[in-house]
Every structure is written in structure tokens, then in C-alpha cells.
Amino acid sequence: MRILVIEDDLIIGDGLTSGLRKYNYTVDWVKNGEEALQAILNEPFEVIVLDIGLPVQSGIEVLKTIRAKGINTPVLILTALEDVENRVLGLDAGADDYLSKPFDLDELCARIRALQRRSGGSGRTNPIITFKDITIDPASRVVRKDGKKVEISRREFVLLTLFLSNLGKVLSREHLTRSLYGWGEDVDSNALEVHIHNLRKKFGNDLISTVRGVGYIIEDEEEGTPK
């Protein structure tokens, strides 16, 4: 999952970015409202973590602008502990959830996972993702095959979770690459193919199918045809 962190406090922003990456998220960070709008309007994100007290444009102004433009990306706002007024303003402006500062990283990640489940439209309430003999526990970041734990890298985890959350859908190379790498990260031309190869090696060569000239898919056996 690719997350945009919008936070002007350098200590909090740096801590959020490094902490979320340890939870296997791809994270980009901007420090004011103007940069936030530019990023949101030009890049795809699955969740936005938004501080209210931003320079240039406030978090409320950013939120109102993107909602007015029809951008429905889930937004979790960060507010001061006693800042009831801004919590109300944020929720009324279109935020999906809020968390008061100071906050616990584990709770933030749990709320992000909940937003992801709700926005996926699948109605899935069980956080465990299951497909055939593969299970993923996003909370513990543990993947099992036939009940046995499988060691996979952070980006392999992101990729596998993305595929299993989009069964039957062809995911383009561009979309997959953007989900794996944030701004400023060096990306080898064959990096995606290497990750796909590693997943096939660990979970079976027939798990991920190549759609030539388009991307990749894990087919949903219940649906039968790609979407």
C-alpha cells in the first residue's frame, strides 16, 4: 500500500515515514498544503495521513479541495489531543478517521488497515487474507503457506498483499511499481520482474500469471475471468 504522509513537523514526519515503512508500507512525505495538493492530484495513493496544522494551506483546506475534485482516497487526520473543533471540522470536510497526537504507531497502522478494508469495497471484516493455501496476517506481517511461515521481503509482502486484495484484476506494471517504490528510490528496470520471480518461487510458478503487454494477475477461481 502506498501512503502519503502530510506533516510539517520534521520529527513527527520522519518518525512516521520510517515507522510506516517498517510495517511494509510504501511512504511518501510532504510538508505543506501546496505540496500535498500537487502530490494527491498527480500520484495514486491508497491512504492519506493528514496533519491539520499545515503551512501555506491548512489540512482542512487540502481536504475540502480534494473532496470537491471527487478524490475519495481515505484520509486519516492527525490532531492535537484537545483539538475537538478541528476533529469535527476534519470529519465534516470528508475525513474518514482521526487520531490524536501523541499517538501509538501500532494503533495508527491498525486504523490504516481498517480504512483499506473499507475502501476496498469487498465487505471483508476479517483482517486475515486467505487464498488457497496462502494466508496473510497484515497486523503481524506474517505470511504462511500450508500453515508454515514463509520468509519474504518487505516489497514481496506488499506485492503479494496487493495481488490477493485484487483477485481477478490485471494490475499494470506502472501501478505495481508505484505501489512498491516511493519518490527518490532507485528502481532497476527489471526490479518488478525479480519480485514476481521470487513470489513464484516461494508460492508456485502458476500463482501469478503474466498478461503480455499489460501486467500481471492472480486469477480469481470463483470469477473465472479477469476484470
SS3 24: coil
What is the residue range of 196's domain? Answer: 129-217
Going by C-alpha positions, the residue among 196, 215, 194 that lies closest to residue 206 is 196
> 164-223, pLDDT tens digit by residue?
988 899 999 988 988 888 776 767 778 999 999 999 999 999 999 999 989 999 998 765
The whole-number pLDDT of residue 129 equals 87
Cα–Cα–Cα angle for 72, 78, 79, rounded to 5 degrees:
130
pLDDT tens by residue, 9-55 = 999 999 999 999 988 888 999 999 999 999 999 888 989 999 988 88
How high is the pLDDT of residue 200?
Answer: 96
Has residue 223 been placed in a domain? no
pLDDT at 123 over 50: no
Sign of CA dihedral 139, 45, 212, 189: negative
- Per-residue model confidence as pLDDT tens digits over 98-114: 998 888 999 999 999 88
User: Which CATH number belongs to the domain containing residue 51 in this structure?
Assistant: 3.40.50.2300
Q: Is residue 144 part of a domain?
A: yes
pTM: 0.69
State whether 197 and 139 are in the same domain.
Answer: yes
Average pLDDT, whole number, for the chain? 87
Q: In CATH, what number is assigned to the domain containing residue 190?
A: 1.10.10.10
Position 91 in a domain: yes
Q: Are 101 and 20 part of one and the same domain?
A: yes
- Residue 65 sits in the same domain as residue 102: yes
Of the candidates 73, 94, 120, which is a domain's last residue? 120
Same domain, 64 and 14: yes
69 and 148 fall within a common domain: no
Cα(184)–Cα(192) distance, integer angstroms? 17
What pLDDT does 223 receive? 56
- Asked which of 5-14, 66-75, 76-85, 117-126 is least confident by mean pLDDT, the reply is 117-126
Instruction: Count the domains in the chain.
Output: 2
